[in-house]
Structure 1
């Protein structure tokens, strides 16, 4: 059961971490103009799934399974982020010719395509302490996913 204090904490983290990371991604995009590349989007999809599993765990059984799926989805996002960070740091090549044109609102489709900035997957638009956003996603998502799993197993004892 998830009624243990550790299980409830895992459930709360499973809801909070993907919500905060997705919120940060959208704030960086819409407030600070850091448009996502293709691999950035790849990292968001598992967080959407993690958020959905965590939200579902609040209202539907089996709660432990849903929180576990949320934790696994966070780890998947983190692993994609780790791969993306490696591409940004030049450790290896990306698996696609990854460049996306950022959407420009309020203009015709042709003008939007012609004036939109190109967002490359191999260039980090921002970093903190030398760690790119993809690198931070790797650290936070993998850490939180593993912490959630540890809390769930600790809650069983």
Structure 2
């Protein structure tokens, strides 16, 4: 396959991840946390880079698209660690709201974020009965897709 074909496939597969996440929100009524939302941005960057790689037949841009997908995988790895309780989230919006000491109801209401609606350590499961969170699925998907894109860029032809 040519670089153009590989880049087109990479763009489509990169777009699939955040679209599935959006569909799970809209149709599965699954609320995203802040880290869930952060994981989506590198995919959109990868879509743009891969589309440019397809148009320009650029293996370098395809490599950058693969790297962008791996960034989402890194955020997903961080998210899995937060879900498992291995470390706290670096994002203040990930914490569940607490009343704290000496906080009035008005102060508490002002401190609540409008979105996201759930803390990052509350894992979301897309497939009932499968004990793999959406963050863990994204980690696996990003590692595979990012690795494929980098491999395609390395071995690609410029036909």
- TM class, shorter-chain normalised? 0.7 to 0.9
Structure 2 CA distance for partners of 1:100 and 1:37, relative to 1, 3 Å: farther
Larger strand percent: 1
Structure 2 CA distance for partners of 1:94 and 1:7, relative to 1, 3 Å: same
List alignment gaps of at least 5 residues for structure 2. Answer: 98-108
Q: Given the alignment of the two structures, is residue 125 of structure 1 paired with residue 121 of structure 2, yes or no?
A: no
Structure 2 CA distance for partners of 1:22 and 1:118, relative to 1, 3 Å: closer
Name the counterpart of 1:134. Answer: 135
Measured after TM superposition, the shift of residue 12 of structure 1 is: 2.7
Alignment of 1:4-153 (within 5 A): 5=1, 7-59=3-55, 61=56, 63-97=58-92, 98-99=94-95, 118-128=117-127, 129-153=130-154
> What SS does the corresponding residue of 1:144 show, helix, strand or coil?
helix
List alignment gaps of at least 5 residues for structure 1. Answer: 102-109
Q: Distance in 2 between matches of 1:145 and 1:89?
A: 24
TM-score in terms of structure 1 length: 0.78
Measured after TM superposition, the shift of residue 99 of structure 1 is: 4.5
Question: Does the 8 Å CA contact 1:71/1:144 hold for their aligned counterparts?
Answer: yes
Equivalenced residue count is 141
Give the CA RMSD over aligned residues.
2.6
Question: Does the 8 Å CA contact 1:6/1:152 hold for their aligned counterparts?
Answer: no
Measured after TM superposition, the shift of residue 117 of structure 1 is: 8.2
Measured after TM superposition, the shift of residue 118 of structure 1 is: 3.0
TM-score in terms of structure 2 length: 0.77
* Higher CA-based Rg: 2
